[in-house]
Copies of this chain bind each other. A is one copy, B any other.
Amino acid sequence: MARRDHAVYVISVAAELAGVHPQTLRIYERKGLLDPARTTGGSRRYSEDDISRLRRIAELSADGLNLSGIKRVMELEQENLRLHDEVRRLRAEAVAAVDAVRREQRRDLVPLSQSIELWRRR
Protein backbone atom coordinates (compact mmCIF):
# COMPACT_ATOMS: atom_id res chain seq x y z
CA MET A 1 0.00 0.00 0.00
CA ALA A 2 1.31 3.42 -0.99
CA ARG A 3 1.97 6.02 1.66
CA ARG A 4 -1.22 8.01 2.08
CA ASP A 5 0.58 11.29 1.49
CA HIS A 6 2.39 10.05 -1.60
CA ALA A 7 1.08 11.99 -4.61
CA VAL A 8 0.58 9.53 -7.45
CA TYR A 9 -2.68 10.31 -9.24
CA VAL A 10 -2.90 12.70 -12.20
CA ILE A 11 -5.96 14.93 -12.31
CA SER A 12 -8.02 12.73 -14.66
CA VAL A 13 -7.56 9.70 -12.40
CA ALA A 14 -8.23 11.69 -9.23
CA ALA A 15 -11.42 13.06 -10.82
CA GLU A 16 -12.51 9.57 -11.78
CA LEU A 17 -11.82 8.22 -8.27
CA ALA A 18 -13.78 11.08 -6.71
CA GLY A 19 -16.55 10.86 -9.32
CA VAL A 20 -16.27 14.44 -10.51
CA HIS A 21 -15.14 16.48 -13.50
CA PRO A 22 -11.41 17.33 -13.65
CA GLN A 23 -12.29 20.99 -14.02
CA THR A 24 -14.19 20.72 -10.74
CA LEU A 25 -10.97 19.70 -8.99
CA ARG A 26 -9.34 22.88 -10.25
CA ILE A 27 -12.25 24.90 -8.85
CA TYR A 28 -11.90 23.17 -5.46
CA GLU A 29 -8.22 23.99 -5.44
CA ARG A 30 -8.82 27.65 -6.29
CA LYS A 31 -11.31 27.78 -3.39
CA GLY A 32 -8.67 26.39 -1.01
CA LEU A 33 -10.44 23.09 -0.40
CA LEU A 34 -7.36 21.05 -1.19
CA ASP A 35 -3.82 21.60 -2.35
CA PRO A 36 -2.40 18.75 -4.45
CA ALA A 37 1.33 18.40 -5.09
CA ARG A 38 2.76 19.56 -8.41
CA THR A 39 5.31 17.94 -10.69
CA THR A 40 8.28 20.05 -11.74
CA GLY A 41 6.42 20.47 -15.05
CA GLY A 42 3.49 22.05 -13.16
CA SER A 43 0.95 19.22 -13.37
CA ARG A 44 -1.11 18.32 -10.32
CA ARG A 45 -0.50 15.05 -8.49
CA TYR A 46 -3.05 13.80 -5.97
CA SER A 47 -2.28 11.60 -2.96
CA GLU A 48 -4.51 9.04 -1.27
CA ASP A 49 -5.15 11.67 1.41
CA ASP A 50 -6.26 14.11 -1.29
CA ILE A 51 -8.66 11.50 -2.65
CA SER A 52 -10.19 10.94 0.82
CA ARG A 53 -10.60 14.65 1.16
CA LEU A 54 -12.22 14.82 -2.29
CA ARG A 55 -14.68 12.11 -1.32
CA ARG A 56 -15.60 14.05 1.82
CA ILE A 57 -16.08 17.18 -0.30
CA ALA A 58 -18.33 15.23 -2.66
CA GLU A 59 -20.42 14.02 0.31
CA LEU A 60 -20.88 17.47 1.74
CA SER A 61 -21.64 18.87 -1.70
CA ALA A 62 -24.31 16.19 -2.17
CA ASP A 63 -25.72 17.36 1.18
CA GLY A 64 -26.22 20.77 -0.44
CA LEU A 65 -23.36 22.72 1.14
CA ASN A 66 -21.55 25.24 -1.04
CA LEU A 67 -17.78 25.43 -1.16
CA SER A 68 -17.38 28.04 1.60
CA GLY A 69 -19.49 25.85 3.86
CA ILE A 70 -17.58 22.71 2.97
CA LYS A 71 -14.29 24.39 3.81
CA ARG A 72 -15.54 25.60 7.19
CA VAL A 73 -17.17 22.27 8.03
CA MET A 74 -14.01 20.32 7.28
CA GLU A 75 -11.97 22.67 9.47
CA LEU A 76 -14.45 22.26 12.31
CA GLU A 77 -14.54 18.49 11.89
CA GLN A 78 -10.76 18.38 12.21
CA GLU A 79 -10.84 20.55 15.35
CA ASN A 80 -13.59 18.32 16.66
CA LEU A 81 -11.55 15.19 16.12
CA ARG A 82 -8.62 16.78 17.92
CA LEU A 83 -10.86 17.59 20.90
CA HIS A 84 -12.22 14.05 21.01
CA ASP A 85 -8.63 12.77 21.16
CA GLU A 86 -7.83 15.27 23.90
CA VAL A 87 -10.78 14.06 25.96
CA ARG A 88 -9.75 10.43 25.53
CA ARG A 89 -6.14 11.28 26.48
CA LEU A 90 -7.23 13.25 29.57
CA ARG A 91 -9.46 10.44 30.82
CA ALA A 92 -6.56 7.97 30.57
CA GLU A 93 -4.19 10.45 32.21
CA ALA A 94 -6.50 11.05 35.18
CA VAL A 95 -6.63 7.34 35.97
CA ALA A 96 -2.86 7.03 35.57
CA ALA A 97 -2.20 10.02 37.83
CA VAL A 98 -4.33 8.62 40.66
CA ASP A 99 -2.61 5.24 40.34
CA ALA A 100 0.79 6.89 40.43
CA VAL A 101 -0.01 8.75 43.64
CA ARG A 102 -1.32 5.56 45.24
CA ARG A 103 1.79 3.62 44.24
CA GLU A 104 4.17 6.35 45.36
CA GLN A 105 2.59 6.69 48.78
CA ARG A 106 2.52 2.93 49.24
CA ARG A 107 6.27 2.94 48.61
CA ASP A 108 6.63 5.51 51.42
CA LEU A 109 4.90 3.26 53.94
CA VAL A 110 7.06 1.15 56.24
CA PRO A 111 5.98 -1.83 58.43
CA LEU A 112 5.49 -0.87 62.08
CA SER A 113 8.16 -3.26 63.44
CA GLN A 114 10.69 -1.71 61.08
CA SER A 115 9.58 1.79 62.07
CA ILE A 116 10.14 1.00 65.74
CA GLU A 117 13.56 -0.37 64.99
CA LEU A 118 14.47 2.79 63.11
CA TRP A 119 13.06 4.92 65.92
CA ARG A 120 15.11 3.10 68.57
CA ARG A 121 18.33 3.55 66.61
CA ARG A 122 17.71 7.22 66.11
Contact = CB atoms under 8 A, between A and B. Distances in A.
A83 B88 CA distance: 11
Contact of A98 (B65, B101, B115): B101
Nearest to A79: B80
A63 B68 CA distance: 8
A11 to B, nearest CB: 25
Interface residues of A, number: 31
A72 interface: yes
Interface in A41-80: 60, 63-66, 68-70, 72-73, 76-77, 79-80
Interface stretch (A12-20, A21-29, A89-97): A89-97
A74 to B, nearest CB: 10
